[in-house]
Structure formats: C-alpha cells, structure tokens
Amino acid sequence: MEDRLNIRDMSLPEIEALITTLGKEKYRARQIMKCLYQKGATSFAEMTALSREFRARMEDLVVIAEPVLDRIQTSADGTKKALFGLADGLFIESVLIPGRNHWTACISTQAGCAMGCLFCLTGRRGLMRNLSPSEITGQMTMLRRFTPEGPEIKNIVLMGMGEPLANYDHTVTAIRILTSDYGLGFSNRKITVSTCGLAPQIVRLGRDICVNLAISLNAPDDRRRNALMPVNRKYPIATLLEACRDYPMPGRRMLTFEYILMAGVNDSPADARKLALLLKNIRCKLNLITFNEFSASPFRTPSPEAVSAFQQVLLDHRYTAILRASRGRDILAACGQLSGTRDAE
C-alpha cells in the first residue's frame, strides 16, 4: 500500500497520463478531479460516473489521502488557526483571516522552514520537510469541507509555514490544482505566493505560472537584510530586485513588498526614504506589518507614531503603502508566529 501514489499529488495532465496507460479516455481524468475537488470524494466508490471495473483498477494503483484537521482555535478578532496532522506525525498550521465579505486562507508549503529569518517563529524550529501537493491543497479542501467559513474563502496566500519557492515543484503543482477548472477553480488573481527572496525561482515562477507575488523585504540595505534574513547573503537586494523587475504582472496588477517594522531596527523615516529610493521604477505596493512579538525574540513592536511616520514618507513618495492589521496575535496566528506544534509557545 505504501508504494501507491496519492492521486491528490497529481495534476490533471499527470492523471491523464496515468489513465491512458489503462486504456481509458483522457476526459475521465477531468471527471476524477471534479469528484475529488468539487464533490469532496474521499474514495473511488463515490465516483459513480466511473465503471466499477475502472474504480477497482484505480484503487489498486493509487490512494486518496489528505491531512487531518486536528483542531481550530479562534482569536478575539475572529481569525481562526487550523492545526493539521500529517501521516508521519508532523503538524502544520493554516490561518483563516476574515475580510469584509470574504475570508482569506493563509496556507503552508513546508513543515517548518530553513530560511532562518530572525524575526520569524516558524524558522526557529528549522525545516522538517517539504509538503507534498496533496498536503498543500489538502489544507484548502479540509477547510472548505469542515469549517462554516470554507465556502466564503475567496483568496489564498501561500505565506504560512515555510518558503514556497524552496518547495518549488510541489508548490507549482498545488497551484495548478487550486486554479484548475476541474480542481478548486480559483482565479490566479486570487492566489499570492510569498517569498523571502529566492531570485532564480522568482524568474522561473514568472515563466511557469501567473500568480500574484509578494516579496518579504524588511530592510532597505544589504547590511541589515543580511543580519535579518540569511537568504540575502546569497541573493542580495540588487539581485532580488532584478528578478522582481522581470516578473510578469499582467494588467494593472502590482508586485507586493512586505516590510515588517521592528522598533529601532528598520522603522525610522530615514529607512523609509531609503526604501522609497530602492523601489523606484518598480510597479509595486507595500504592505507594512508591525512585528508580532513572541517569547525569546529580541525584537519589539514599534510605536504607532513611528509606524505612522514611516508610512507617511512612503505616501509622500507616491507609493501605495498599506498598514496591514495583525490578526490573531493572541493565538499565535499572526505573520511570523506559526509553529506547527500542538503546544504553541
């Protein structure tokens, strides 16, 4: 049984290739995907549009498996954090963020993270492993199936645990399932990939698929970004921004740069002016995020006055600079606080 593939790890072309080896028509792959992702089938027995003989052959070849929804915590502000159990005993977390008329799902692509950003709780545990496509999409299918908010999820952001572009192939396969007309049917305009700055993979992503891209920047110069984000030593800011300039954003869409404000570290008006100059001539917007504190962290949340002054400099330079509200701090569900453990710090 362990040798059988999980069909939820397979994209539509991969399922088509599998069933053609069985002498079946390609359109059967579309039927299977619609059963899995739109009708919520958890076994081939439920796929009654397929012949009994075909279902039996598929059961011999593949399994249908998803993460297990272990529990959901609710924040005072309405944010919900979901803990998922994986088959090997690891845990990952997703977050449901309430909006005005919809919900946004923040999902994970790795168990843990190897990037080592100093301000991130997830990175303190290191990387356990990459998630499979079924473990990435499974967060969405389980949230849709078992939460009242599920049908109202309109946006997906891949900025939970892990670095999506360090798990490139599985992340792209998952996105293709999420956006397939026969999968979960999300528009690529409603999906955002967040990266700490893996420049070669940014270039590759722009060639392979079309989704929104958010770059975690967090410093206006290499000296401080090197200290905060070890990835910058391999892909410094100039290399990163060159990749960003080449990333295709059709229509009126813009790149997003995320900037976590840490008191006395990167939050001065002078830092904002350097940032404005750095991003000149890049079609982008900025999401400003105040640091979300956790135990044993050396960083602190800046004052509202410091945040306002930083934002105003960017507005004066004609940038769209949005102060993103931190949601779910009381349950460690805010940006950089996910840990994937049953006993949060």
150: amino acid identity, one letter:
G
Q: Which residues contact 242 (CB under 8 A, 6 or more apart)?
A: 199
Give the Å distances, CA to CA, from 3 to 17, 63, 135. 18, 10, 18
Nearest-angstrom CA–CA distance, 32 and 183: 10
Nearest to residue 98, comparing CAs of 83, 78, 82, 81?
A: 78
Helix axes 269-278, 304-316, angle to 10 degrees: 30
Q: Which residues contact 52 (CB under 8 A, 6 or more apart)?
A: none
Helix axes 12-20, 27-37, angle to 10 degrees: 130
Angle of CA points 146, 5, 39, to nearest 5°: 35
- DSSP notation for 102-152: -EEEE--SEEE-SS--TT-SGGGG-EEEEPPHHHHHHHHHHHHHH-TTGGG
Catalytic positions, please? Answer: 93, 335
Residue 295 burial (10 A CB sphere; 0-12, 13-18, 19+): exposed
Three-state SS for 80? Answer: strand
